[in-house]
Amino acid sequence: MDKVDLKNNRNLSNKKFRSQIINLEDKIKSLDKEYIRVPEDFPVKHMFSEGMYVRELTVPAGVVVIGKIHKHEHPAFLLKGEAIVATENGGIKELKGPCSFVSPPGVKRAVYARTELIWTTVHLNKDNKKDLEKIEEENIAINYEEFDKFIANQKQLKQ
Residue 132 three-state SS:
helix
Q: From start to end of 14-125, where are the E strands?
A: 44-49, 52-59, 64-66, 69-70, 74-80, 82-87, 91-96, 99-103, 110-113, 117-124
Give the CATH fold of the 2-158 domain.
Jelly Rolls (2.60.120)
The CA distance from 25 to 38, in Å, is 12
- Is it true that the peptide bond before 43 is cis, omega within 30 degrees of 0? no
pLDDT of residue 24: 74
Encoded amino acid at 42, one letter: F
According to the model, what pLDDT value does residue 36 have?
A: 52
Q: What is the pLDDT along the chain (159 residues), one digit of tens a residue?
A: 544 444 444 444 677 777 777 777 777 767 655 555 555 678 899 999 999 999 999 999 988 888 899 999 999 999 999 999 988 777 789 999 999 999 999 988 889 999 999 999 999 999 999 999 999 999 999 998 999 999 999 888 887
